Amino acid sequence: MLDPYKIREDFPILERKVHGRRIVYFDNAATTQKPRQVINAIKEFYEKYNANVHRGLHTLSQEASELYEKAHEVIAKFINAYSWEEVIFCFNTTDAMNIVAYAWGLKNLREGDIILSTVMDHHSTMLPWRNVAAIKGAVVKYINITDDGYLRYDQLEELINEKTRVVVFPIMSNVLGTINDVKKIVKIAHEVDAIVVADGAQSVPHMPTDVRDLGIDFLGFSGHKMLGPTGTGVLWGRRDRLEEMMPFKVGGDTIKDVTLEDVIWHDLPWRFEAGTPNIAGGIGLAEAAKYLMKIGMENVRNHEIELVTYTFKRFEEIGDEIAVYGPKNPNDRGGVISFNVKDLHHHTVGKTLDLLGIAVRTGMHCAHPLHYRLGLKGTVRASYYIYNTIEEIDYFIDALKRIINLREQLKTVPVEEVCTGT
């Protein structure tokens, strides 16, 4: 098992006080904090190696290029890719999903083709395919969920047919925490030769990911959700699928040669990494992956199961005063817990927690259709990571009890004032 107390020593920001209290950071599904190792790797690049990659024979450019290419190799190892050439660095999961939708979809979709998405999809996974479908005349259909937050696999089997070209879904819901059965989805999709596009934004940072074992065609995930810098992400794709794609963003470093009549595209992955990349970010992302591999992703997963299990146990003390959404079995969900406090607006709860030094997210979490499916206008979301502790959860539960005790007073504060911090 990992030691969160030892890990916390690597994260300077966790020493910060907010409103006079040591910060309790429970907004890891939005972005994670960065360890000194990642911060120092970025600092070292700018101090010692800063140069553009693949654009110079001088020493700095050659060294920068080597570091950047090795970063691809580290990420390939992290997800057990067949080759680092399948690893495309991009800005984030949103960027990865857009690359697949436009670079694969515009070339391969035809009028009347079906794209299957899910009600629990993040907007970043859902909307690119809706845009491409509108351009190509394809049809988007949605797989619903059960009332307790599981994907309707029976509906997947009903909706899928020989016209289905794409099945896109989150491995883990960013609202419900639900961990979907990837292999089951892959099996059903591949029976009709549909490609499987997996959103790994919430899963890759929190559990072991083996793209060979999963059998998916594409995977997107964000660096900033796994201890890496903002503005970093990864699109992994099977080589044969990547070869089917038309370069979506083109320009510098995407070509081998250009004439006024023709273009010869570069090898993988460079044909999909247009322009000067986020070199320092890629190096920092690789350092984050090394950090997590040293801890062990099985240990990361087990730690979050422990935290969720303990949270659910403590929630029993609050009873009907709190509504929790998603699977009740901690083994079926990640370290994401969305909830509401009875008779209080989610923003009121979130801001009050902030005043007590606890950072959570409130709102619809870029998943409006899912909230509408649940009949909700928003939720409070607490999300855990490797540096969170049982003691922080105890403080969190005590804070919720205080909020419940102050409910009548808090109900008199207009939400508009809560949102502006007045």
What's the 3-state SS for 175-203?
CCCEECCHHHHHHHHHCCCCEEEEECCCC
* Spatial separation of the C-alpha atoms in residues 125 and 118, rounded to whole Å: 10
* Spatial separation of the C-alpha atoms in residues 330 and 311, rounded to whole Å: 10
| Res. 250: pLDDT tops 90 | yes
Stronger pLDDT, 351 or 248, i.e. the higher one: 351
Question: Checking DSSP bridges between strand 263-265 and strand 255-258, what pairing results, if any?
Answer: antiparallel
Nearest to 206 by CA among 73, 58, 308: 308
pLDDT (average), residues 162-185: 98
pLDDT digits over 405-418, tens only?
999 999 888 876 76
| Res. 420: pLDDT tops 70 | no
pLDDT at position 178 is: 98
* Spatial separation of the C-alpha atoms in residues 53 and 57, rounded to whole Å: 10
pLDDT (average), residues 372-398: 98
4-30+297-420 placed in CATH 3.90.1150.10? yes
pLDDT at position 418 is: 66
pLDDT (average), residues 126-151: 98
- Percent of all residues in the chain with a pLDDT value above 70, rounded to a whole number: 98
* Cα atoms found within 13 Å of the Cα of residue 187, Cβ hemisphere only: 7
Average pLDDT, the chain: 96
pLDDT digits over 285-320, tens only?
999 999 999 999 999 999 999 999 999 999 999 999
pLDDT (average), residues 359-379: 98
pLDDT (average), residues 368-380: 98
- Percent of all residues in the chain with a pLDDT value above 90, rounded to a whole number: 95
* 3-class SS shares of the chain: helix, strand, coil, % to 5: 45, 20, 35
Q: Where are the domains of the chain?
A: 4-30+297-420, 38-294
| Res. 91: pLDDT tops 80 | yes
| Res. 202: pLDDT tops 80 | yes
- DSSP character at residue 260: S
189 close to 195: Cβ distance less than 8 angstroms: yes
pLDDT at position 422 is: 47
Catalytic residues: 366
| Res. 350: pLDDT tops 60 | yes
* Spatial separation of the C-alpha atoms in residues 132 and 194, rounded to whole Å: 16
Which CATH number applies to 38-294? 3.40.640.10
200 close to 94: Cβ distance less than 8 angstroms: no
234 close to 298: Cβ distance less than 8 angstroms: no
* Amino acid in position 414: P
Nearest to 33 by CA among 55, 52, 63, 9: 9
pLDDT at position 55 is: 86
pLDDT (average), residues 185-206: 98
pLDDT digits over 213-234, tens only?
999 999 999 999 999 999 999 9
